[in-house]
Structure formats: structure tokens, C-alpha cells
Amino acid sequence: MTALLSVNEVSTGYAELEIVHKISIQVDKGEIVTIIGPNGAGKSTLLKAIAGVLTKFEGTVTLNQQNVTTLSASNMVTVGASFVPQTDNIFPSLSIKENLEMGGFLRSSGVSERINEVLSMFPELQKRPNEKAGNLSGGQRQALAISRALMLDPVLLMLDEPTAALSPVLREEIFDRIDVIRKTGVAILMVEQNAKEALLRSDRGYVLVAGELVLEQTGPELVANPDVGRLFLGAERNPQIHNEGN
């Protein structure tokens, strides 16, 4: 099966500082794929490069078999890839409905209909479309940011730490909404610090350490992997993960 998203040997970073080194990953249609790793591993940097926020130093990215390596974030949206950053992802002074209208600004028609479709997936927002976004809780803001990203009917939704700083109850609500979105046919690639919860809902996961890809397994396999557990307990690069022996 041809992958929906193919990232091939991508290196990226900030200015001349390379953070991510020759990473190759893929996302198939309808999958949830999660990138995990310790702080500073380059997870968000990689996601931003895929989304067109950062320039790729080398490597290629294809979406639906189209080369999108050099596309900006705004142009990535037009080819079906929406990105939700961890912060500054809504307009606080606008209402829920106005935020969604902004998300759908490239649509030639059907904005109201799409708003209704998107809000049906987020009942907590559907109840008060005229509420100012700045009045929403952290979980509701994240829900709104994800809703905005869905306004252009993406085939791929990229989420950077969607449950960061949320309570366990609100985390569960966001993950439930992600499950609902996947059922509509949208593939999801996310970076997530609440690794266990994310991986249990993921088809596959990738582990990044110090800007390098060290492991790929199914979500449940990564949860059960003792080496991954030690990694998240603060261990240095794990020799067994790197297959370097003892």
C-alpha cells in the first residue's frame, strides 16, 4: 500500500543548527501515528518541518504521492495537510464560530455546513458557538484549535502536544475526539508527551532520541517495550534500542 505521507531522510533544525538527522517515517491512510521521545529529542522540530513551518536541510516529503518538500505551511494546507501547534493556535478575541470561519477562509463554499460538521464532533463547543475563545478552558481551546484545522477537510492532521498541561480527564476527552476524527478517514500524526495514552490509541509509533530515529513499533508494542519504559524514566540512550550490545 502506498503511504499517504512519506518522510525520507529529512534533516532539519533552526538557522544552521541541525536538530533532526535523516529521519524517515510514514503515515498510511486512516492511521494514527505518534512520535515519542525524551525532551529535546527533536520531535516537535520534525513535525514543524513536515508541516512546512521549518525548512528542511535535506531529504524529501511526499503527501498523496506529491512532492511537498519545499511547500510553506500555508501551502501545505491547500494540499490537504493541517497543522496544530502546541501554543498560539486560536484567536482569543474571536468567538468559536469566528475562529472556525477563519479556519475555512480558503473554502469557496460550504463554510457554514462544514462548521456544523466539525462542531458535531466537539459537543462542548457546539453548545456555545458565540462564546469568545479567550473564555474557554485549556481543553476547550485545544478542541477549538483542532476544529479549526479540520475546516479545510484535510487528509492529514498533524498535532503538536495536543494534551500538554491538561488534566487526565481533559486529556481523555481530547484523545476521544482524535479517535472520532480518525473514524472520518483523516490520518493523524502527532507528537505527544503523554506517551502511554497516545500509543495505546495509535496504529504505530516512532521513538526519537537526540534527533535520531531509534525504534518503530505498533503503539501497544511500544507501551509494552521495557527499553522504551526505561527511556522515559530518564535513561541515556539505551544500548539495546540501538542494537549496540552491552
> Average pLDDT over the chain, rounded to whole?
91
Longest distance between any two alpha carbons in the chain, whole Å: 61
Q: For the chain, which residues make up each domain, given as ranges?
A: 5-91+154-231
Distance from C-alpha of 158 to C-alpha of 161, rounded to nearest angstrom: 10
| Grid cell locating 2 | 502506498
Q: What is the DSSP letter of 133?
A: G
* Contact call for residues 172 and 13 (beta carbons, < 8 A): no
What whole-number distance in Å separates Cα of residue 91 and Cα of residue 21? Answer: 34
Output the pLDDT for position 154. 97
Long-range pairs for 222-228: beta carbons < 8 A, 24 or more residues apart = 222/36, 222/195, 223/196, 223/199, 228/36
Q: Which triple of cell numbers denotes residue 115?
A: 462548521
Tell me 223's DSSP state: H
How does residue 244 score in pLDDT terms, banded at 50, 70 and 90?
A: very low
Report DSSP state, residue 139.
H
Total residues found in the chain within this entry: 246
190 and 35 Cβ atoms separated by less than 8 Å:
yes
Between the alpha carbon of residue 39 and those of residues 45, 208, 226, 236, the distances in Å are: 12, 10, 19, 12
Per-residue confidence at 231, pLDDT binned at 50, 70, 90?
low
| pLDDT tens, position by position, 199-218 | 999 999 999 999 999 999 99
Q: Is the pLDDT of residue 243 over 90?
A: no
Give me the mean pLDDT over the 218-244 stretch. Answer: 64
Q: In what order do the strands lie in the sheet with 17-27?
A: 17-27, 5-14, 56-63, 66-67
pLDDT tens figures, 38-81 = 889 999 999 999 999 999 999 999 999 999 999 999 999 999 99
- Give the separation between CA 49 and CA 193, rounded to whole angstroms: 19
* Residue 111 banded pLDDT, cuts 50, 70, 90: very high
Segments of the chain assigned E as strands: 5-14, 17-27, 32-36, 56-63, 66-67, 81-84, 156-160, 187-191, 204-209, 212-218
Cα–Cα distance, 85 to 161 (Å, whole number): 8
Q: Is 213 exposed, middle or buried (0-12, 13-18, 19+ CB in 10 A)?
A: buried
Residue 127 has pLDDT above 90, yes or no: yes
The CATH fold of domain 5-91+154-231: Rossmann fold (3.40.50)
pLDDT 10s digits, 158-210? 999 999 989 999 999 999 999 999 999 999 999 998 898 999 999 999 999 99
Closest CA to 191 of 20, 4, 14, 15: 20
Residues 204, 187: contact at Cβ < 8 Å?
Answer: no
Per-residue pLDDT at 227: 83
